[in-house]
Structure 1
Amino acid sequence: MSLKEYLPGTPFPGVIGRTDEESSPAWPAPLRAKPGAPNVLFIVLDDTGFGQLGCYGSPIRTPNLDRLAKGGLLYNNMHTTALCSPTRSCILTGRNHHSNGMAAITEISVGYPGRNGTIPFENGFLSEMLAGHGYNTYCVGKWHLTPAEQTSAAGPYSRWPLGRGFERYYGFLGGDTHQYYPDLVHDNHQVRPPKTPEEGYHLTEDLVDRAIGFIADAKQVAPDKPFFLYFCTGAMHAPHHVPREWADRYKGQFDDGWDAYREKVFRRQLETGVLPPGTRLSRHDPDVQDWDSLSPEERRLYARMMEVFAGFLEHTDHHIGRLIQSLEASGELENTLIMVISDNGASPEGGLHGSVNELKFFNNAPESLEQNLAALDELGGPRHFNHYPWGWAWAGNTPFKRWKRETYRGGTTDPFIVHWPRGIQARGEIRSQYCHAIDMVPTVLDCLGIDPPTELRGVTQSPIEGVSFKYSFQDADAESRHHTQYFEMFSHRALYHDGWRAVCPFPGPSFTESHEPFGMLKLTEARLREFDTEGWELYHVAEDCSETRNVAAQERDKLIEMIARWYVEAGRYDVLPLITPSRELFAVERPQISRERERYVYRPNTSPAPENVAVHVLNRAHAITARVEVEDGVEGVLLCHGGLTGGYSLFVKDGKLHYVYNFVGEREFHLESSVDVPKGHAELRFEFQPTGAPDLPAGRGAPGRGRLFINGDLVAQSDISETMPLLISLGEGLTCGRDENSPVSQRYQPPFAFKGGTLTEVVVDVSGEHVHDAATEANTVMARQ
């Protein structure tokens, strides 16, 4: 007798008698995908500009991504939101970023529907949609879509990857992480990397290994079951980390500077058809130094920073190639719909001069050319958190102007490749139809023959806002079907409509021309009227794709129409009110799982507390007390926060109690007890008492006196003259009983877990006024995206 199945929710088709002899069974049918349904793979690069992949004209070697373009389609008119989390929300939901409450990153959310950093459940993720059609769903790599206050072990977990339709997850929840000492989460719990940097660990390789493993785990059991893999590298976001041999492959190749890079890439883009004939190269950016005006030392440093970036990108491409090769070897590549995209344009977050430790930048601590040159030979290695300067970000977006965070095309027009041998006949062709990240979900559903769901998990779904571009797969000359698209990022606004593009740059076309640093100009109603009257630019991008000819004066009626249309779209998608970096914005109180308190208790063998929910000890008196039972051979970390780039650690070594304060990776302030820690019960305590006021604009926190106590007896004291004013770590949180990632101090090797006794708990008491400087804190948070 053949097995009888029926759809859940339909009548039972078997027979039920008084006994099994008189009955016949039937089974609820398992959820199965349609026969022949393709796998779906999204590859999301971070901070990769239009002119940085080899197939887009770059001298950087990306043979594996180039192979996908040669075997599929390269799009030259794909757009994003200009920032990471907003774009990623579009990629996964098919809705605009403000519709997702994701006007910017969640760390700077405010209490308006379009800006609260909380993606509503009525905006279902593609993972949730495909899971309901028999797909395995995997998320590997960067997430950054959970409200920052909800990323700790306290949850809630409903907006972690497993809460939004992914069955497996391996990656990091925040915006960036150390590539050698990442802050890793596996499914719903934090884990340590499987190897150390000394053993050859690098995050990109680990992510690819995990992605290959997820797929193989399921395929060996159910080879016909399709998967959706959302694969997001930490590359090419800072820190630019790569083994030296990869960076050395580019030695000397950028010595002629960013202007020369732009010229060479632009010529190649025209030759290969990535750009239409007649395209002009945009102007030299007023905020970027002329290469020839730089000193020989500056040119040497900046060229090396770009060599490291180039090696990082080639290294990333190599490991993406391993993922592609695994699909090919298993016979899955032919029927895998692959879409490759970057989340925004190349990033200016390294500042005018670049950085070898972004923590300095976020703390407003000055970097000197001499210090950066001293790090030259170690750039790309685990000791530094490096990023290139503005000039390379500008060059990376060739032929467009500006960069990430701004709605000129340099911030919003990104590489996009589609590869699906079984579903697309064309090979190696270019497509110029207008597309946006919100179009990816409806295109996938169109390719799979799936209607957008009206309900997911009991929640009625909102309409998909994107437009399928499947029509473009077979017809290079098909008319674009995405007619109108608004843009807004930090009050920098733009609108596309049928070949025209209006842009209202904020605070101006450049910082130099606006005479305002990023994030310092408050947008009042009066200023907004001025910008709407005089600040809009107009480009006929159907004929001027690089936005070089502003025709606002000649086409006044068209401009007025475009401005009006922007406001219509803003009303439709919850864009208003416009918010700029200001004291009011960064003073906003956000909902917290637990209120800020004066006493924090930490215990060993618990998950690290992320930076945003860990106890805040900066610029205030505080005491750290560890309660231990000491036996022979006692040593290890009691409590630490941060890593190589900065932080503090209280630990026992060689029988003594130690405290180290690592000031932005420059200097370790060290206290060591004058006596050994005694056996038996002991209270080991560090106290900090400020002795002066912080100078936040100058990058200096409150100086103070540090003291160590053992069972109430003073055993060491010393001045700590330099402390960090704003931020302790870049993704490396607070841990009890071990140093979870990179070492705070060079005096031990992580994890340096506590042993030779029992560590019961560590209590941190915080007292005194917490000193705030809202304007400086605004710049800090805005820089880190």
Structure 2
Amino acid sequence: MALKEYKTGQAFPGVIGRTFDVSEPAWPAPLRAKQGAPNVLFIVLDDTGYGQLGCYGSPINTPHIDALAAEGLKFSNMHTTALCSPTRSSLITGRNHHSNGMACITEGSMGYPGSNGAIPFENGFLSEILQQRGYNTYAIGKWHLTPAEQTSAAGPYDRWPLGRGFERYYGFLGGDTHQYYPELVSDNHQVEPETTPEQGYHLTPDLIARAKAMIADSKQVAPDKPFFMYLALGTAHAPHHVPREWADKYKGKFDAGWDAYRQQVFEKQKALGLLPENAVLSRHDPDVQDWDSLGADERRLYARMMEVFAGFLEHADHHIGDLMAFLKELGEYDNTLVMLISDNGASAEGGPTGSVNEGKFFNNVPDNLEQNLAAIDDIGGPKYFNHYPWGWTHAGNTPFRRWKRETYRGGVSDPFIVSWPKGIKARGELRRQYCHAIDLVPTVLDALDIEAPERIRGVTQSPIEGFSLKGCFDDAEARSLHVTQYFEMFGHRSLYHDGWRAVCPWPGTSLIESGRQFGDPIDYDTLIQLDAHGWELYNIDEDFCETHDLAEQERDRLIAMIGMWYVEAGKYNVLPIDSRGTARFGEERPQISVDRKKYVYYPGTQMVPGNAAPRVINVAHSISVHAVVPESGAEGVLLSMGGNDGGFSFYVQDGKLTYGYNYVADQRFKVQSESPVPSGEHIFSFEFTPTGKADIAKGKGVPANIKLFVDGERVGNGDLPVTIPLQLGLAAGVAVGADTGAPVMLDYPSPFAFTGKVKKALIDISGDAVEDQEAKMRMYLARQ
């Protein structure tokens, strides 16, 4: 007899007698997807510009991504928000980034409905929808969708991947990570890589291996159960990390420079049909150096930085190909709806000269050509947190002007590929329909014949704000449903409407022309002036690359579009406009626990991420570690914060108590004890005392004096001429008893775990002096 099943909410259809032999069972029906429902795979690249994939005209080899385009559709008119978290929130919810509270990355949230960093539960994720429809749901790689203050082990976990409809997760919660020493999370807990860089570890193949394993785990048990996978690689965000052999494949390929690259790619894009025949390449950007005016050493360095980037991107393509091959081996490829997209245009965070430490950008620290040249042979390896110069950024966004963080097309126009052999008849065709990141969710729902739910877990859902692209899958001439779209990022505003774009650039058309810098504030009076005189107007149907400003000739149209921008801003919670850049990262935000002056931490626990850790920048503080040193002596890290891109470490080396400070990998300082560390149980402390003022605009935190103590007795003293002004290394977590990840200092290997026993550690930001307080400290630590 066939099993009898019934759905939730239905009456029990079996028979219940007094004994089993006169009864008939019936079972709650398992949640099953529709027969033949396709798998759905989102592949999200990071900081990859319109002109950086092979199938979009680039000389960078991306054969596996190109194959997806050849087997499906390539879109020439896709748009994003100009920044990562905002775009990712749109990709996964179908709502605009301000509707999601994601005006900026979560670290730049500002406490307004459109900018609080907390995606509302009424804006359901695609994972939450498909999980309710019988799908397995997996997230792999970069997340960056949880308020930064909520990524510690204290949670809450409701905005982590498993709280938003994903059944499994493996990746990193922040905006970027070291590709050799990543800060990894598996489901809801931190983990360490299973191998080391010396053993060949790199994050990309690790992520792909985990993706394959998750798919196989389910398919070997339930072959007909579809999956939704959100695969977000770290590529091609800084740090540009790749094994040397991949970068060396491009030796000499970029020696002609970024302007030659732009011309080559522009011509190829026209040949591929991506651009209209009348398209004009945007100008050489005034902020970008003229390649021919550079010295030989600069050209050599910048060419190598681009070789590393190209190798990084091809390396990722190779492993994407590995995943596609696995789907084919399983027989799942033809019925997998693949959508590949980048989250914004190429990134200019490397500045005009590139950088061996992206952390300098976030701390307003200028780069040093001599230091970068000295690092040339190690760029791409684990030693540096490197990023190319913005000449390559501009080239990577060919044919458009400008870049990430700005809403000219260079910041918001991105590659977008859709492949679904079983569901799309067209092969290798181009689609020109206007589309935006918010269109992916409604397209998937339309393709799967699923209506957006009215409620998810009891929460009434807001309307989806995007438009389905399914109509153009097999009809190249289908009408574009997406007629109007606003943009705003750090005060840089624009509006698309029916073939036209109005743009109000901030800080200006370029830094040189405006005389302003990224992060300069827009006050109310400035906004009035910008609305009166700061807008440009482009007919995108006739001027694809925004090269001919029609603001004067089409004044009435421009005024109408400015008004339309404000209508959209009101509709989607865009206001207030806040153009401040890195200064936003230092704003105070709600913490899970009440503010306090003393923090106790324990070994063997998860690292406390920087946004949930004590703020020790530019303030007096002390750290005390209660530890036991065996008779034979000990070495290793007692407590660390940060990584090889910046931070500090408190450790024992060569028998000496040591304080090491890494100033954005630009300079490193050490203060050591005058005498060896004694054996036995002791409290080891250091005291950080500011000796001057910070100059944050110039990338300088407070100078400071460092005193070292053993049981309250001073054993060492030294000075730091400069410290980090805004943000320690991008990981910057508190680690007790080891320096996990990329090590803060160069004189020890990771994790340099303490070989004695660490009992606990106290971070004190009250400003109280350590000297002569040993008994008080011991009592405080004992109470915890």
TM range (shorter): over 0.9
Task: Give the C-alpha shift of residue 768 in structure 1.
Answer: 4.0
Q: Identify the residue that residue 407 of structure 1 maps to in structure 2.
A: 407
1:497 equivalenced with 2:497 (yes/no): yes
Q: In 1, distance between residues paired with 2:587 and 2:241?
A: 35
**Higher alpha-carbon deviation: 677-686 or 490-499:** 677-686
Q: Identify the residue that residue 351 of structure 1 maps to in structure 2.
A: 351
Q: How does 1:84-483 map to 2 (within 5 A)?
A: 84-483=84-483
Q: Identify the residue that residue 579 of structure 1 maps to in structure 2.
A: 578
Task: Give the C-alpha shift of residue 276 in structure 1.
Answer: 1.9
Q: Cα gap change, 1:699/1:103 in structure 2, threshold over 3 Å: closer, same or farther?
A: closer
**Higher alpha-carbon deviation: 490-499 or 132-141:** 490-499
Task: Give the C-alpha shift of residue 397 in structure 1.
Answer: 0.7
Q: Identify the residue that residue 560 of structure 1 maps to in structure 2.
A: 559
Q: Cα gap change, 1:525/1:728 in structure 2, threshold over 3 Å: closer, same or farther?
A: closer
User: What TM-score do the two structures reach when normalised by structure 1?
Assistant: 0.95
- The code of the aligned residue for 1:73 comes to L
Q: In 2, distance between residues paired with 1:403 and 1:742?
A: 29
Task: Give the C-alpha shift of residue 19 in structure 1.
Answer: 2.1
Q: Identify the residue that residue 773 of structure 1 maps to in structure 2.
A: none
Q: Cα gap change, 1:69/1:81 in structure 2, threshold over 3 Å: closer, same or farther?
A: same
Q: In 2, distance between residues paired with 1:244 and 1:550?
A: 44
Task: Give the C-alpha shift of residue 490 in structure 1.
Answer: 1.5
Q: In 1, distance between residues paired with 2:642 and 2:95?
A: 36
Q: In 1, distance between residues paired with 2:581 and 2:367?
A: 25
Task: Give the C-alpha shift of residue 482 in structure 1.
Answer: 1.2
Q: In 2, distance between residues paired with 1:740 and 1:402?
A: 37
Q: In 2, distance between residues paired with 1:274 and 1:82?
A: 21
Q: Cα gap change, 1:668/1:281 in structure 2, threshold over 3 Å: closer, same or farther?
A: closer
Q: Cα gap change, 1:682/1:251 in structure 2, threshold over 3 Å: closer, same or farther?
A: same
Helix, strand or coil at the partner of 2:496: strand
**Higher alpha-carbon deviation: 722-731 or 230-239:** 722-731
Helix, strand or coil at the partner of 1:755: coil
Task: Give the C-alpha shift of residue 251 in structure 1.
Answer: 1.0
Task: Give the C-alpha shift of residue 588 in structure 1.
Answer: 4.9
The one-character-per-residue Cα deviations of 1:620-671 (angstroms, maximum 9, x if unpaired) are 3222111123334433221011122222212234444332222332443233
Q: In 2, distance between residues paired with 1:554 and 1:693?
A: 52
Q: Identify the residue that residue 35 of structure 2 maps to in structure 1.
A: 35
Q: In 2, distance between residues paired with 1:213 and 1:299?
A: 43
The one-character-per-residue Cα deviations of 1:710-748 (angstroms, maximum 9, x if unpaired) are 223332223333322222212242200111111122332
Q: Cα gap change, 1:216/1:639 in structure 2, threshold over 3 Å: closer, same or farther?
A: same
Q: Cα gap change, 1:659/1:583 in structure 2, threshold over 3 Å: closer, same or farther?
A: closer
Task: Give the C-alpha shift of residue 526 in structure 1.
Answer: 2.6
Q: Identify the residue that residue 778 of structure 1 maps to in structure 2.
A: none
RMSD of aligned alpha carbons: 1.7
Q: Cα gap change, 1:26/1:74 in structure 2, threshold over 3 Å: closer, same or farther?
A: same
How many matched pairs?
767
Q: In 2, distance between residues paired with 1:585 and 1:637?
A: 32
1:689 equivalenced with 2:659 (yes/no): no
Q: In 2, distance between residues paired with 1:311 and 1:451?
A: 42
**Higher alpha-carbon deviation: 544-553 or 135-144:** 544-553
Helix, strand or coil at the partner of 1:77: strand
Helix, strand or coil at the partner of 1:612: helix
Q: Cα gap change, 1:576/1:619 in structure 2, threshold over 3 Å: closer, same or farther?
A: closer
The one-character-per-residue Cα deviations of 1:210-256 (angstroms, maximum 9, x if unpaired) are 11111111111111110000000111111111111111111111111
Q: Cα gap change, 1:586/1:62 in structure 2, threshold over 3 Å: closer, same or farther?
A: closer
Q: Identify the residue that residue 778 of structure 2 maps to in structure 1.
A: none
Q: Cα gap change, 1:135/1:632 in structure 2, threshold over 3 Å: closer, same or farther?
A: farther
Does the 8 Å contact 1:183/1:732 carry over to 2? no
Unaligned runs of 5+ in 2: 769-784
The one-character-per-residue Cα deviations of 1:455-489 (angstroms, maximum 9, x if unpaired) are 00110101111110001010111121111111111
Q: In 2, distance between residues paired with 1:583 and 1:675?
A: 42
Does the 8 Å contact 2:519/2:583 carry over to 1? no
Helix, strand or coil at the partner of 1:605: coil
Q: Identify the residue that residue 701 of structure 1 maps to in structure 2.
A: 701
Does the 8 Å contact 1:262/1:399 carry over to 2? yes
Q: Cα gap change, 1:588/1:763 in structure 2, threshold over 3 Å: closer, same or farther?
A: closer
Q: Identify the residue that residue 645 of structure 1 maps to in structure 2.
A: 645
Q: Cα gap change, 1:270/1:669 in structure 2, threshold over 3 Å: closer, same or farther?
A: same
Q: In 2, distance between residues paired with 1:739 and 1:397?
A: 38
Q: Identify the residue that residue 2 of structure 1 maps to in structure 2.
A: 2
Does the 8 Å contact 1:383/1:645 carry over to 2? no
Identical pairs, percent: 65
Does the 8 Å contact 2:143/2:174 carry over to 1? yes
Q: In 1, distance between residues paired with 2:585 and 2:198?
A: 40
Does the 8 Å contact 2:597/2:765 carry over to 1? yes
Does the 8 Å contact 1:82/1:405 carry over to 2? yes
Helix, strand or coil at the partner of 1:382: coil
**Higher alpha-carbon deviation: 707-716 or 279-288:** 707-716
Does the 8 Å contact 1:74/1:418 carry over to 2? yes
Does the 8 Å contact 1:620/1:767 carry over to 2? no
Does the 8 Å contact 2:362/2:582 carry over to 1? no
Q: In 1, distance between residues paired with 2:144 and 2:571?
A: 25
Helix, strand or coil at the partner of 2:169: strand
**Higher alpha-carbon deviation: 529-538 or 143-152:** 529-538
Q: Identify the residue that residue 774 of structure 1 maps to in structure 2.
A: none
Q: How does 1:484-523 map to 2 (within 5 A)?
A: 484-520=484-520, 522-523=521-522
Task: Give the C-alpha shift of residue 617 in structure 1.
Answer: 2.3
Q: In 2, distance between residues paired with 1:272 and 1:617?
A: 53
**Higher alpha-carbon deviation: 635-644 or 160-169:** 635-644
Q: In 1, distance between residues paired with 2:261 and 2:743?
A: 38
Q: In 2, distance between residues paired with 1:264 and 1:61?
A: 15
Q: Cα gap change, 1:216/1:491 in structure 2, threshold over 3 Å: closer, same or farther?
A: same
Q: In 1, distance between residues paired with 2:586 and 2:609?
A: 20
Does the 8 Å contact 2:700/2:725 carry over to 1? yes
Q: Identify the residue that residue 614 of structure 2 maps to in structure 1.
A: 615
Q: Cα gap change, 1:531/1:296 in structure 2, threshold over 3 Å: closer, same or farther?
A: same
Task: Give the C-alpha shift of residue 692 in structure 1.
Answer: 3.1
Q: Cα gap change, 1:124/1:200 in structure 2, threshold over 3 Å: closer, same or farther?
A: same
- The code of the aligned residue for 1:564 comes to G
Does the 8 Å contact 2:586/2:726 carry over to 1? no
- The code of the aligned residue for 1:547 comes to E
Task: Give the C-alpha shift of residue 584 in structure 1.
Answer: 9.2
1:78 equivalenced with 2:98 (yes/no): no
Task: Give the C-alpha shift of residue 706 in structure 1.
Answer: 2.1
User: What TM-score do the two structures reach when normalised by structure 2?
Assistant: 0.95
Q: In 1, distance between residues paired with 2:132 and 2:324?
A: 26
- The code of the aligned residue for 1:364 comes to N
Does the 8 Å contact 1:238/1:385 carry over to 2? yes
Q: In 2, distance between residues paired with 1:519 and 1:696?
A: 13
Helix, strand or coil at the partner of 1:683: strand
Q: In 2, distance between residues paired with 1:641 and 1:60?
A: 37
Q: Identify the residue that residue 549 of structure 1 maps to in structure 2.
A: 548
Helix, strand or coil at the partner of 1:110: coil
Q: In 1, distance between residues paired with 2:582 and 2:80?
A: 28
- The code of the aligned residue for 1:631 comes to P
Does the 8 Å contact 1:485/1:495 carry over to 2? yes
Does the 8 Å contact 1:134/1:225 carry over to 2? yes
Q: Cα gap change, 1:515/1:669 in structure 2, threshold over 3 Å: closer, same or farther?
A: closer
Helix, strand or coil at the partner of 2:488: strand
- The code of the aligned residue for 1:289 comes to Q
Unaligned runs of 5+ in 1: 770-785
